[in-house]
Structure 1
Amino acid sequence: MDNTESFGARVGHCALWEKVKEGHVHLITNEDIQELFHAFDVYDPSEKISTSDLVRLCSVEGTYLTAEDIGEWIKDSDVDGTGEVGIMDVHRGITEGTAAFSLVKRALFGQEKEHKLSECSIHELLGWMHYEYDKKSKLWSLPETLFLFTAFIIGAVLHLNVWEAFKSSRAYQYALTYGDFALEWVVDRDTFWKWVYEGWLRNILRHHMVSFIREVDPDQDVLKTNPFPGRVLKTHQIIGAVRFRRWYAVGTACLSGNMWKDLYSQCPMHGELMPDDWYIFYHESYEVIQEQIQERAENFWLDDHTRFLDVQTFSYNAHQAMFTLDNLRLEFREAGYMIHRDGKRETFADSPYYNLWLAIPDLIFAVLLWNVFYGEMKELVPAAMNGLDGIKDYLKLWNVIDWIAIGFGFTTLSFWMVFVLKVSGELPEVLKPLPSNALDRAVFTNRSYLTSEEFDSVVDRFDFERQVAEIFRCAEEVAESHVVARRLIFVYLFILMLKFFKAFGSNDRLDIVIKTITGSAVDVAHFALAFALVFVCFAGSGMLLIGTTFEGYHTIPSALYFRWAENVEMDDIEGFEPWFQVLAYFWFFSYLSLMSILMINILVGLIFEAYGRIRSAAGEPETLLEQVGEAVENLKETKNFIDMWYLICELEDDDFPAHPAELVTIRSLKKAFSKDRMTKQNAEYLIESASRWAKKQEHNVELSVTDGVRMIGQTRTNVNKLLVLSEQAIDVVNAMLRKFHSKRTESEGGDWLSMYGAAQHEIQQEAATKTEESDPLAASPARRKHKVSEMQQKSREELMFYQMRNRFSDMISMTQEQTKLLEFISQSIGARQESIVEKDNWGRQKTAVLTDRCEKIEINIGKLSECLKGVDPGQLRGMPDKLKEFAQKVHAWQVEDSNPRSSSKLDHMAMLQHQMDSISQDVAQISAATKAKADIAKALQHVKPLIDQWCGATTARLVKTPSRFTEDSSDASPRMVQTWTGFTSFDAQDDAPDEVR
C-alpha cells in the first residue's frame, strides 16, 4: 500500500500533467517523459519499460487522462508491438498520436457530453428557452410593427396634409418675395420701409385688382376695389388684421474697452426684450394704411433698440379648409444689416375629423399600440415578481426600445389630441365674436374701403385690437401644438425603424444588415475618429480661409456642414489675389483626394468586408416565409402549453427557483410546475428541444488566436509525420518497380514469378560483374558467394513487399465490402427503430385513451356513491314482504269493519292493493340494480393491475425485443376488445401475458 502511494505521488509531481491539462501537447519535451520514467524507477535513457507499466497510470489521480486516452497513448507508442517502449516512443505517442488529438480537442471544446432526449441541464433548458422566446417574439413583432407603421403613416399623411401645406407656403412665398421691391433687397430700415410700400402692401393688402397692369381710372372702372376684402392672392382670407410685432431691448452697458466707454456708454440692442404691436386692418382704405406706414417710418418706430420684427398674418383658405399662420421674422444684426427668416410658417386643418372615416387609422394605431403595451406588461409583471434581478434581466435593449416606442406613441397621440381640441374647440370660440361681417357689409355698402372715421363708427378700434391680439395668441398656441405633434411624429418614425431592426433579428437573411452594422461598429468607430479629426481640420481651415467672405463658412457648425456638402465653387474664390487662389485650390483638392476619395473608400471597404464575412458565415438560411410557416405549425402544436416567459421567470427566480436541481427530467419538470398543471407533452417538448439545441451549440465554438496556433502546431506535427511515412513508402515502391521492370520480358503473358526470377538473375550477374571490375580482389569465390546471398536476401524482401501490397489491396476490398454491409445493417436498424417508435407512439395513445376512460369511471363511481350514500340494500330487500304483509292486514281489517253492501270501499281497497304491488316491483328492481352496481368497485379494482401489467410488458418488449415488432407487425400489434365490464381494453395477442388476455 505504501509503494502504491509513493508511486502515485511521484507520478503526480511530474510537470507533464500541467501541459496535458491545458492541451499544450506540442510543448511536451523528452525531459518531461524522462521525469515520468524516473517515477517508474527507470533512470537510464536507453532503457525501456513495458506497456503494462503505463497501464498503471489509470489508477493514478491527477493525470487528466482517461483509460481510453492511456490506451491510445500505449497503442501509438508501441508501434512495433514488442510490448516495450522507450522515452522517444512515449514522447512520440503523446505528441503525435490519437491521444494528442483528443487532448487538444478536449482543451478547446471541453469534454464531449452525451445528450439524451429525456433529460438536460437547467442551463441548457434556460439557454434554449431564451433563444426560442427571443426568436419567436422578434418574428411575431415583424407583422405587428408593419401594421403599426402602416396605420401610423396613413394617419400622419391624412391629418398633416403636407401637400396642401406646401401649396399655402408657396403662396405666401410668392406674395412676400415678388413685387416692385423684392424682399431679398431688404438690408436695413430704409430698405425695409421701401419694401413695405412697394412689395408687401401691394401683394398682401392689394385693394386694386389691376394695380400691376394699368393705372385705375375711377370714371371708367367704377368697381375699382376687390369685392372680397383681405385676400392674399385672392384665396387666403386674412383674419382680423396683420400684426407687426417689434421686439426691442432696454439697453445695457457695452463690452468695449475703457478708452471707448465714454463714446459708447450704452449698447441699445442688448438687454431684456419687450414686445410692441402695430395692427393693420385690411378694411381700411389704401390711403389710410399708407399714412399709417408713413407715420411709423417718420417717427422712427424701428429705432436702434429694435432686435426683431415679426410680420404676422393669420389666414384661412376655404378651398383647402386650412388655416395658415405666417410669421416673417426680420433680424437686425449688431453689424448694422438686416436678414430675414421665412421658415416659421405653419398650416393646419380647421377640422381634422370632418369625416369620421379619418379616425379609423388612429383607432387602429391606438389598438395596436395597446396590444404592444399589453404584451410587454405580460413580460414585465412576471419578471417584476422575481424582484430587482428579474427586472434587470428583463430590461434588455430591444425591450427598452419597445417601451420607448410605447411611451412615444402615447405621447404623440396625446399631443395630437391637444391640437385637435384646440383647433376644433378653443379657436372657433375665439373667432366667433370677431366683427368681420359688419366691416365687410360696410365695405360693400360704400363700394370702397373705409376711412379711419368710418372704421371707428362701425367697431371700437381698441376693442377690436384686443380681440385680434387674442386671436393671434390662440393661433400661436394651436400652431405650436401642431409643430410639436409633427416633431413627435418625425421622431417616432425613427423609433419604428428601430423596432423593425428588432424584428429583422428573427431571420438570418434579414439580420445580415444588423450584424453588418454591429460587426463593423468597432472598425468604423476607429475610422470615424481619424476621419473626424481630419475633417474638422479641413472645416476649420476653410473657416479661417474664406469664412470672412463666404457665409457658409463664417461659423464652425456651418463650416462643418458646407465642407461635407463641398459647396464651394469657382465664383467664391475668383475675387481673391492669385496667391490666395493657389492656397484655396490646394485646400480644395487636398480635401477631395484625401477625404472624398481615400477615406470614403476605406469606409466602404470596411463595411463590405464585414458584410461579406457575415454573409458567408450565414450560409443558406431559411427564408422568411419558411420561418413563418414553421412558426405557425409550432404555435398550433404548443397552443395548450404553459407560457414560456412565465416558465423562464419561475426557473430564474434567485430566491425561490421552481426547479433548483441541476438535472432536469420530464418527471421533475412536471413536478416543479404541478400547480400550473403542466402536461407531459409540454415537458417532453421543452426537454427534447433543449437537448437538441445544446447538442447543436457544441459545434458552434469560436476559437481564439491562441487556440488557432495550438491547432496549427498539432496539425503541422501530424502532417510532417505523414510526409515522412509517405516518403518512406514511395522509396520502397520505387525500388520495387525499378527492380521488377529493369528487364523486359520477351513474352508479355509470362508469369510474374518467371519475370521476377529473370530480373533477379540479371541483377546478380550485373552485381558480380561490377564487383569484379571495381575490385579485383573482391572477385574471389567467397566474396562472390557473399554478394549472391545478399542479392537473394534483397530479392526475398522485395517479394515480401509485393505480397504485402497484395494483402493491402485485399484489405481495401474487404473494407469496402464491410462498409457496404455496415450501411445495409444501419438501414435495417433504422427501419426497425422507426417501426418501434411507431408502435411505441401507438401504445402511448391507447394508454392515454384508457387512462382518460378510467378517470371518467372513477368520477362516475364517486357520483354514484354520493347518490347511494345512507342507503341500506338489506332493508330495501325486505321491504316488499313487509308491504305485502301490511296490505294483507289492512285488507282483513277493512273486510271485517266494512259493510258488504258498500262497493266504493271495495274499489278503493283494490286500487290500494294495485299500488302496493307496483311499489313492490319497483323496489325489487332498485335492489337488483343496487346489487349489480355495488360489485362495480370490486371489478374496477382488478382493472388497474391489469393495465399496469400490460404497460410494463409492452415497455419491456419495446426495449428488449424490438425485432419482434418488425417481423410481423399485424400479429404483434395490440387490438381493442370489449370486456365484461363494458369498457375497452387492449389485447396484445401472443406477446401479452396470460393475465391481460
Structure 2
Amino acid sequence: MAMMGANPFNQRVAQCAMWEKVREGHVHLITQEDVENVLLNFEEHEASGHVSTLELVRLAGLDGTYLTSEEIRDWIKDADKDGLGRVTAEDLHRAITKGSVAFSLVKKAMFGKEQEHKLTECSLDEILKWLHYEYEKNSNLWSLPQTLVLFSVFVMASALHLNVWEAYKLTRVWTTVMSQGDYLQWWVVDVSTLMLWLEQAFLRNVLRQDMISWLAQPEEASDPLVSNPFPGRVLQEGQVVGAVRLRRWHSIEQPCNTGTFYKELVPTCFLKSELYPEDWFMFYHEKRTVIEQDIQDRTNQNWLDLNTAYLDIQVLTYNAHQAMFFFGTNRYQWMESGRFIIRDGPNEAFVDGPYFNLLYAVPDLIFILMLWGILYGELKEAIPAAMNGLDGIKDYLAFWNVVDWFAICFGITTVCFWLNFVLAVGGLPKLLSTLPSDALDLAVFSNQSYLERHEFNGVVDRLEFEQQMADIFNLAEETSEAHRIARWMILGYLFVLMFKFFKAFRSNDRLDVVIQTITDSAVDVAHFAFAFALVFSGFALGGMMLFGTKVQGFHTLVSSLFFCWRGGIGMDDVESFEVWFQVLAYFWHFSYLGLMSILMINILVGLIFEAYGRIRSGAGEPPTLLEQVGEAVDTLKETKSFLDMWYIICELEDDDFPAHPAPTVTVRSLKKAFAKDRMSKDNAEYLVESASMYAKKQAKKVELSVSDGVRMIGQTRTNAHKLMALSEQVNSLLKKFHMKHGEGSHDQNWTNLFATEKKQEVKETVEEDPLARNAKNVKQAEVVSRKAVSREETLINRMRNFASDLVGVTKEQNKLLDWISHTITERGQGITEKDSWARQKTAVLTDRCEKIEISVGKLGECLKGVDPTQLRNMPERLKACAERIHQMQMEDCSPVSGEDHISLFQSQLSSIANDVAHISETCKAKVDVYDALQRSDQVINRVLATYTRVVEQDKQTETSEDFSDLPGVTQTFTDFSVGSPIDDMSHVNSGEFM
C-alpha cells in the first residue's frame, strides 16, 4: 500500500480497531492481526514485513491512539529488545500485551487516565494554586533576611537598654547584703526573730554607720564588708536614696466561718478582709541607736500583730558607675496556717537615662522603620483583598498572615510599653532633686557622727521628708513595674519572631523540615500527650498522697506535677521515712522512672524521629538556600516589568466580578482578562507555562502498590471462578437441551436393549456348551462396544453443532453490539460537534458583545456633553429654512429685499453652522454623523452660491423668475430632511468610534 499524505495516514491509523481496545483497557483482546492492521499503513512493512522504530515514532504525534508520547516510546523500546531498530508485528504484539504499556493501560483502567498538561494552557484552579505557591514562597524567602535583620536590631536594642549583665550584678549585691549578718535571714520564723534580724543583720549591712570611726579604724579581717567613705553606701558603690521603707499590709478582724461552738472559742479571724498599707521609714542619717530604739518600740507596741498579712522591706539605690537604679523588695508573709514564708520580691534594676547617648536610639529607629515597612507590605496585600469583600478577607487571613499582623501589633505594643518606662524613669530626677540629702550629709560630716532624733528634725521637717520619700518610692515602684512589663513584652516578642522565622523557613525545603516534622507528628504527639498526661497525673497525684505531708514538693497538686517532672524524690527524703514506707516510696519511684522517664519519653522521641525521617526522605535533594536566593534574584530580574502577582490573585479570586471567569486559561484569554492593566505577552506566557509545569510536577504518578497487586490477583481469581461457573451452566443447559429433544428415550431404548441382550445371554449360557458360549460372548461384546462408540460420537457431534450455533449467535450479537456502539459513537460525535459549534458561536458572540460594550463606552465618552435635541431638530430646521427661501422667492424678488432676505438667511445659517461645528467638535467621530454634517455644510454652501448667483442675474436682467426652477435646491433640502442619516442613527456602527 503506497503511503499517502499526512492527513490520510493519520485518519487510516486512527480508524484501526486496536485503539478502541486500548481505550477500553482490554489488553488481553488485542491480537496480532490488530497490530498488523496498524503496520499496513507503513510502506516499509508492506515491502519487508518489518518496520523501523524511527517510523513508529510517528504514532506519538497522532490523535486517536489513546496512548501518550511516553507510552509510545515505551512500547517501541519493549518491542526492540535487540536494539536493531527494526520490529515486527509479533514483537509489537508481545510488547503491548506484556510490556510496560500493558501495565500503564491496566493502571488507567483501575485509577483512570492521568491528566495531561500543556504549556500553552492550564485550568483556572491550577494557575491560582501556582500563584499562591509562588507568591508565598517568594514572600517567605524575602522575609528571611528581613526577619534576620529585625531580630538582630531588636536584640541589639534590648541588650543596650536593659543592660542585663549590669542588672545581674546589682541583684547579686542585694542578695549578698540580705543573706549576711550575725543573725541570718533564714533563721527568721516569727515576729520576734524578724525584729532580731532587722537589728543585728539588716541595719549592719544596709544602713552601715561604721564608715567613719574617729576612735579606731575598722579592720578588714574583722569586717568582711569593706567600710564605705560616705553615708548610705551599700557595699561601696550603691547609694541608698533617702531611706529604707518598711510597708506593713494589714487587715481588719472578721468573724470566723465556723460552727457555733468554735465561734465561742475563736470569735474573730484574721487575714480575711481587704489589706491596707502602713509605711515606716528608716533614714540612714539617723544614728543606729535611734533606729534600734524605734525597732524596740514597735516591737513593744505589737506593730506586726495578727492582722499583718506580710511585710515588705524596700530600698532604692543608685550606682553612678553603672548609671542604674535598683529597686529591691523582700517580702515576709504570714500564712493562715501560721507558717512564715520569706519571698524574694520583684527586684528590678534599670538605667537612669535610656537615651543619654543618642546613638542608643539608632537601633530603636531602625526597628520602628522595619515595623513600618512590614506594615506597609501587609497593607498592600490586605487592601486589595478587602476590596473583594468578605470572601477576600477570609482568603487573606491565612495563618502566616495572621502571624505577620500579630508580629506588627505586638511589636508596636512593645514599643509603647518601652516608651511608658522611658517617661516614668524620666520623672525620677525631678523628685530626687527636692531631697535634702546634701544638707543631712553636711550635718553628719560637721558633727562627725550620725544624727540624733532632735538633730535630724532640726535639719529637715520629718513629716515633709517622709512624704517626699513616699512619693519617690511610689514612682520608683511604678517605674520598676513598667520596666518589668517591658522586659516581659520583649521576651514575648522574641517568641513572635520565632514564628516569623518558621514562616521564612517554609521557603526552603531544607529549612522547612522542622516545621513539617512538627506538623506531620502533631496528631501522633497529641494522642501520645493525652495518654502521657493521664499516666503522669496519676503518678503526681499518688506522690501527693504519699509524700504530701512530709515532702514540700508534693504538698499541692501543682507542686507535685512540677516535682515529678523535675525528677521525683531523693535519698534525703526517703531516709527519714519508716521502713515499710521506704519500700512503698522506692516502688513508686522506680515504677515512675521506668514507665515515664524511660518508656514514655523514648516513645515520644521515636514518634518525632519517625516523622523527621519521613519528611526528610520525601524532600529528596532540594536546592540550598543560596541556590534558591540566586534563582529568586534571576526570576525577579526577568519579571520586574510584570504585573504584581498579588493583584492578579485578587482579581482572579474576586467572586463578584472575576477577571477571568472561564475555567480554562490561555495566554490570549489571560491577556484579554487583564487588558486594562496592559499585561504583556511575556507576562501571560510566564504565568501559564509556570502554572502548567507546577501542576505537572504536583500531579502524582499512579504506582501500583502491593495492595493493588493483591487486589488485581483477587479480581483475576474472581473472574476465573465466574468463568468456571458459567461453563458449568452452559454444560447443564446442553444436557437439558438434549433431554428435551428425545435423547432421553433413546438412552432408555439402549438400556432396554442391553437388558434384553443380557437375558438372552443368560439363557443361551444355560443351553450352550462353554466353548460356544465364550465365542458368543466375545462377539456380543464387540457389537455392544460398536454401539456405545456410535452413541458417543453422535452426542459429540450434536454438542459441536450446538457450540457452533452458539458461536454464530454470539457473533451476531457482537455485530449488533458493534452497530449500536458505532451508532452511539456517531451520535456522540454529532453532539460533540454541535456543542463545539455552539461554543464557538458563543465565544464569537461574547467577543462581539464585549466589543460593542467597549464601543458604547467610548461612544458615551465622545458624546458626553452633546445636546441630542439639536441634532434631532436640525433636519426640521433646515427644512423650515428651505420653505422660507421658497416663500421669499414667491413673495419678493427685488434686489433690495433679496439682499435683506439673504442677510437674514445667512445669519440663520451661520447660527446653524455654529451649532453644527459645536456638535462635530464634541462628537469627534469618524461615522456617518460626521459625513452627514459635511454634506449639510456642502448643501448650505451650494444654496448660498446659487442664490447669490440668481440675485446677481436678477439685478442685471431686472426680470422675475420662479425661484422654484432652480435645479435641485428644494429637492435637495427635502431629500436631506427625509433620508438624512442624522435622523436615523440606528445603522451607525458603534465599533467604529475611536
Q: Structure 1 residue 471 and structure 2 residue 472: aligned?
A: yes
Task: Give the direction of change, closer, same or farther, for the CA distance of 1:517–1:391 in structure 2 (3 Å limit).
Answer: same
* Residue in structure 1 matched with residue 580 of structure 2 by the alignment: 579
Q: Give, in whole Å, the separation in 2 of the partners of 1:232 and 1:657.
A: 74
* Residue in structure 2 matched with residue 594 of structure 1 by the alignment: 595
Q: Give, in whole Å, the separation in 2 of the partners of 1:583 and 1:399.
A: 54
* Residue in structure 1 matched with residue 662 of structure 2 by the alignment: 661
Structure 1 residue 530: Cα displacement: 0.9
Equivalent residue in structure 1 for 2:155, among 146, 153, 161? 153
Structure 1 residue 363: Cα displacement: 1.3
Task: Give the direction of change, closer, same or farther, for the CA distance of 1:339–1:454 in structure 2 (3 Å limit).
Answer: same
SS class of match (1:241): strand
* Residue in structure 2 matched with residue 450 of structure 1 by the alignment: 451
* Residue in structure 2 matched with residue 283 of structure 1 by the alignment: 285
Structure 1 residue 349: Cα displacement: 0.2
Counterpart mapping for 1:503-522 below 5 A: 503-522=504-523
Structure 1 residue 105: Cα displacement: 2.9
SS class of match (1:237): strand
Q: What is the letter of the counterpart of residue 359 of structure 1?
A: A
Task: Give the direction of change, closer, same or farther, for the CA distance of 1:254–1:239 in structure 2 (3 Å limit).
Answer: same
SS class of match (1:576): coil
Q: Give, in whole Å, the separation in 2 of the partners of 1:231 and 1:674.
A: 79
SS class of match (1:695): helix
* Residue in structure 1 matched with residue 499 of structure 2 by the alignment: 498
C-alpha distance after superposition, 1:638-695 (max 9, x if no partner): 1111110010000000000011111212122112112212111111111111111112
Q: Give, in whole Å, the separation in 2 of the partners of 1:177 and 1:701.
A: 74
Q: Give, in whole Å, the separation in 2 of the partners of 1:461 and 1:95.
A: 111
Q: What is the letter of the counterpart of residue 642 of structure 1?
A: L
Q: What is the letter of the counterpart of residue 198 of structure 1?
A: Q
Q: What is the letter of the counterpart of residue 155 of structure 1?
A: A
* Residue in structure 1 matched with residue 680 of structure 2 by the alignment: 679
Q: Give, in whole Å, the separation in 2 of the partners of 1:270 and 1:512.
A: 56
Contact 2:212 2:229 in 1 (8 A): no
Q: Structure 1 residue 240 and structure 2 residue 242: aligned?
A: yes
* Residue in structure 1 matched with residue 671 of structure 2 by the alignment: 670
Equivalent residue in structure 2 for 1:308, among 310, 330, 333? 310
Q: Give, in whole Å, the separation in 2 of the partners of 1:695 and 1:280.
A: 81
Structure 1 residue 714: Cα displacement: 2.9
Q: Give, in whole Å, the separation in 2 of the partners of 1:21 and 1:195.
A: 98
SS class of match (1:658): coil
Contact 2:117 2:692 in 1 (8 A): yes
Q: Give, in whole Å, the separation in 1 of the partners of 2:147 and 2:713.
A: 51
Counterpart mapping for 1:535-550 below 5 A: 535-550=536-551
Structure 1 residue 528: Cα displacement: 0.8
Counterpart mapping for 1:954-993 below 5 A: none
Q: Give, in whole Å, the separation in 1 of the partners of 2:636 and 2:327.
A: 54
SS class of match (2:329): strand
Contact 1:430 1:474 in 2 (8 A): no
Q: Structure 1 residue 620 and structure 2 residue 621: aligned?
A: yes
SS class of match (2:549): coil
Q: Does 225-234 or 631-640 show the bigger shift?
A: 225-234
Contact 2:144 2:501 in 1 (8 A): yes
* Residue in structure 2 matched with residue 939 of structure 1 by the alignment: none
* Residue in structure 2 matched with residue 632 of structure 1 by the alignment: 633
Contact 2:327 2:480 in 1 (8 A): yes
Task: Give the direction of change, closer, same or farther, for the CA distance of 1:720–1:97 in structure 2 (3 Å limit).
Answer: farther
Q: Give, in whole Å, the separation in 1 of the partners of 2:461 and 2:479.
A: 27
C-alpha distance after superposition, 1:530-560 (max 9, x if no partner): 1111111111111111111211111111111
Q: Give, in whole Å, the separation in 1 of the partners of 2:363 and 2:504.
A: 22
* Residue in structure 2 matched with residue 407 of structure 1 by the alignment: 409
Task: Give the direction of change, closer, same or farther, for the CA distance of 1:185–1:692 in structure 2 (3 Å limit).
Answer: same
SS class of match (1:329): strand
Contact 1:188 1:336 in 2 (8 A): no
Task: Give the direction of change, closer, same or farther, for the CA distance of 1:646–1:191 in structure 2 (3 Å limit).
Answer: same
Q: Give, in whole Å, the separation in 2 of the partners of 1:701 and 1:270.
A: 74
Q: Which has the larger radius of gyration?
A: 2
Unpaired runs of 5+ residues, structure 2, are 1-21, 39-63, 76-94, 220-225, 720-994
Counterpart mapping for 1:880-919 below 5 A: none
Structure 1 residue 114: Cα displacement: 3.2
* Residue in structure 2 matched with residue 910 of structure 1 by the alignment: none
Contact 1:225 1:448 in 2 (8 A): no
Contact 2:318 2:325 in 1 (8 A): yes
Counterpart mapping for 1:857-936 below 5 A: none
Task: Give the direction of change, closer, same or farther, for the CA distance of 1:138–1:662 in structure 2 (3 Å limit).
Answer: same
Structure 1 residue 447: Cα displacement: 1.0
Task: Give the direction of change, closer, same or farther, for the CA distance of 1:583–1:121 in structure 2 (3 Å limit).
Answer: same
* Residue in structure 2 matched with residue 111 of structure 1 by the alignment: 113
* Residue in structure 1 matched with residue 604 of structure 2 by the alignment: 603
C-alpha distance after superposition, 1:769-799 (max 9, x if no partner): xxxxxxxxxxxxxxxxxxxxxxxxxxxxxxx
Structure 1 residue 108: Cα displacement: 6.4
Contact 1:249 1:273 in 2 (8 A): yes
Counterpart mapping for 1:317-356 below 5 A: 317-356=319-358
| Count of matched residue positions in the alignment of Structure 1 and Structure 2 | 642
TM-score, normalised relative to structure 2: 0.61
Q: Give, in whole Å, the separation in 2 of the partners of 1:231 and 1:140.
A: 54
Task: Give the direction of change, closer, same or farther, for the CA distance of 1:717–1:297 in structure 2 (3 Å limit).
Answer: same
Q: Give, in whole Å, the separation in 1 of the partners of 2:283 and 2:517.
A: 62
Task: Give the direction of change, closer, same or farther, for the CA distance of 1:97–1:717 in structure 2 (3 Å limit).
Answer: farther
Q: Give, in whole Å, the separation in 1 of the partners of 2:419 and 2:343.
A: 30
SS class of match (2:264): coil
C-alpha distance after superposition, 1:704-757 (max 9, x if no partner): xxx863354337889999xxxxxxxxxxxxxxxxxxxxxxxxxxxxxxxxxxxx
Task: Give the direction of change, closer, same or farther, for the CA distance of 1:598–1:261 in structure 2 (3 Å limit).
Answer: same
C-alpha distance after superposition, 1:925-949 (max 9, x if no partner): xxxxxxxxxxxxxxxxxxxxxxxxx
Task: Give the direction of change, closer, same or farther, for the CA distance of 1:225–1:630 in structure 2 (3 Å limit).
Answer: closer
Contact 1:308 1:330 in 2 (8 A): yes
Task: List, as ranges, runs of 4+ consecutive aligned residues in structure 1 with deviation greater than 2 Å.
Answer: 20-23, 66-69, 93-116, 213-217, 224-227, 255-259, 699-703, 707-721
Task: Give the direction of change, closer, same or farther, for the CA distance of 1:225–1:448 in structure 2 (3 Å limit).
Answer: farther
Task: Give the direction of change, closer, same or farther, for the CA distance of 1:286–1:381 in structure 2 (3 Å limit).
Answer: same
Contact 1:315 1:325 in 2 (8 A): yes
Contact 2:208 2:231 in 1 (8 A): no
Q: What is the letter of the counterpart of residue 183 of structure 1?
A: Q
Contact 1:242 1:279 in 2 (8 A): yes
* Residue in structure 1 matched with residue 690 of structure 2 by the alignment: 689
Q: What is the letter of the counterpart of residue 129 of structure 2?
A: G
C-alpha distance after superposition, 1:12-53 (max 9, x if no partner): xxxxxxxx9999x99x9xxxx9xxxxxxxxxxxxxx9x999x
Task: Give the direction of change, closer, same or farther, for the CA distance of 1:95–1:262 in structure 2 (3 Å limit).
Answer: farther
C-alpha distance after superposition, 1:810-864 (max 9, x if no partner): xxxxxxxxxxxxxxxxxxxxxxxxxxxxxxxxxxxxxxxxxxxxxxxxxxxxxxx
Q: What is the letter of the counterpart of residue 132 of structure 1?
A: E
Structure 1 residue 255: Cα displacement: 2.5
Task: Give the direction of change, closer, same or farther, for the CA distance of 1:22–1:581 in structure 2 (3 Å limit).
Answer: farther
Task: Give the direction of change, closer, same or farther, for the CA distance of 1:460–1:140 in structure 2 (3 Å limit).
Answer: same
Q: What is the letter of the counterpart of residue 708 of structure 2?
A: R
SS class of match (1:344): coil
Provide the aligned C-alpha RMSD in A. 3.5
Equivalent residue in structure 2 for 1:183, among 170, 182, 185? 185
Q: Give, in whole Å, the separation in 2 of the partners of 1:131 and 1:376.
A: 17
Q: What is the letter of the counterpart of residue 384 of structure 2?
A: P
* Residue in structure 1 matched with residue 256 of structure 2 by the alignment: 254
Task: Give the direction of change, closer, same or farther, for the CA distance of 1:99–1:633 in structure 2 (3 Å limit).
Answer: closer
Q: Give, in whole Å, the separation in 1 of the partners of 2:264 and 2:24.
A: 86
Q: What is the letter of the counterpart of residue 615 of structure 1?
A: R
TM-score, normalised relative to structure 1: 0.61
Contact 2:287 2:452 in 1 (8 A): yes
Unpaired runs of 5+ residues, structure 1, are 1-19, 34-47, 56-65, 76-92, 218-223, 722-997
* Residue in structure 2 matched with residue 531 of structure 1 by the alignment: 532
Structure 1 residue 102: Cα displacement: 5.3
Contact 1:245 1:309 in 2 (8 A): yes
Contact 1:119 1:664 in 2 (8 A): yes
C-alpha distance after superposition, 1:269-320 (max 9, x if no partner): 2111111111111111111111111101111000000001000101111111
Counterpart mapping for 1:75-90 below 5 A: none
Structure 1 residue 442: Cα displacement: 1.1
Counterpart mapping for 1:714-733 below 5 A: 714=712
SS class of match (1:302): coil
